[in-house]
Amino acid sequence: MTLAEKILAANSGKEKVSPGEFVNVRVDVVLANDITAPLSIKEFRKLGVDKVFDPEKIVMVPDHFCPNKDILSAEQAKMMKQFVQEQGLVYFEVGRMGIEHVLLPEQGLVLPGDVVIGADSHTCTYGALGAFGTGMGSTDIAVAMATGEIWMKVPPTIKFVYHGKLGRWVGGKDLILYTIGDIGVDGALYSAMEFVGEAVDALPMDGRFTMSNMAIEAGGKAGIFRVDDKTQKYVKDRAKRSYQVYHPDEDAEYTRIIEYDVSKLEPQVAFPHLPSNVRPISHVGDIKIDQVVIGSCTNGRLDDLRLAAKILKGGKVNSGLRCIIIPGSQQVYLDALHAGLVDAFIRAGAVVSTPTCGPCLGGYMGVLAAGERCVSTTNRNFIGRMGSPKSEVYLANPAVAAASAVLGRIASPEEITK
Partner 1 sequence: MKLKGKVHKYGANVDTDAIIPARYLNVSESNELAQHCMEDFDAEFLTKVQPGDIIAADTNFGCGSSREHAPVAIKAAGISCVIARSFARIFFRNAINIGLSLLESPEAVDNTESGDILEVELATGEIHNITRDETFLAKPYPDFMMGIIKVGGLVKYTKRKIAEGV
Binding site for partner 1 (CB under 8 A): 22, 35-36, 38-39, 42-43, 46-49, 64-65, 69-70, 72-73, 75-76, 118-121, 123, 135-140, 142-143, 146-147, 151, 153, 185-186, 189-190, 216, 219, 221, 274, 361-363, 367, 380, 382-385, 389
Q: How far is the CB of 402 from partner 1 (least distance, A)?
A: 26
Q: How far is the CB of 209 from partner 1 (least distance, A)?
A: 18
- Choice between 21 and 415, CB closer to partner 1: 21
- Residue closest to 132 by CA, chosen among 63, 191, 186: 191
Q: How far is the CB of 77 from partner 1 (least distance, A)?
A: 10
Judge contact between 25 and 133, C-beta under 8 A.
no
Helix (H) or strand (E) holding 165: none
- Choice between 22 and 257, CB closer to partner 1: 22
Q: How far apart are CA 318 and CA 408, in angstroms?
A: 5
- Choice between 334 and 383, CB closer to partner 1: 383
Q: How many CB atoms neighbour CB 251 within 10 A? A: 6
Helix (H) or strand (E) holding 132: strand 132-135
Q: How far is the CB of 135 from partner 1 (least distance, A)?
A: 4
- Choice between 100 and 266, CB closer to partner 1: 100
Report the helix count and the strand count for the chain, using DSSP H and E: 15, 18
Q: How far is the CB of 43 from partner 1 (least distance, A)?
A: 6
- Choice between 231 and 391, CB closer to partner 1: 391
Q: How far apart are CA 208 and CA 15, in angstroms?
A: 29
Q: How many CB atoms neighbour CB 48 within 10 A? A: 7
| Cβ neighbours of residue 229 closer than 8 Å, sequence gap 6 or more | none
273 upstream amide cis, omega within 30 of 0: yes
- Choice between 185 and 336, CB closer to partner 1: 185
Q: How far is the CB of 107 from partner 1 (least distance, A)?
A: 21
- Choice between 68 and 263, CB closer to partner 1: 68
Name the DSSP class of 410. S
Q: How far is the CB of 6 from partner 1 (least distance, A)?
A: 21
| Cβ neighbours of residue 118 closer than 8 Å, sequence gap 6 or more | 29, 30, 31, 32, 100, 133, 134, 135, 136, 141
Q: How far is the CB of 42 from partner 1 (least distance, A)?
A: 7
User: What are the C-alpha distances in Å from 319 to residues 251, 293, 314, 334, 408?
Assistant: 57, 16, 15, 28, 8
- Choice between 78 and 238, CB closer to partner 1: 78
- Choice between 214 and 305, CB closer to partner 1: 214
Q: How many CB atoms neighbour CB 91 within 10 A? A: 18
Q: How far apart are CA 365 and CA 69, in angstroms?
A: 9
Q: How far is the CB of 103 from partner 1 (least distance, A)?
A: 17
Helix ranges, 300-417 (H): 302-312, 330-338, 341-348, 398-407, 414-417
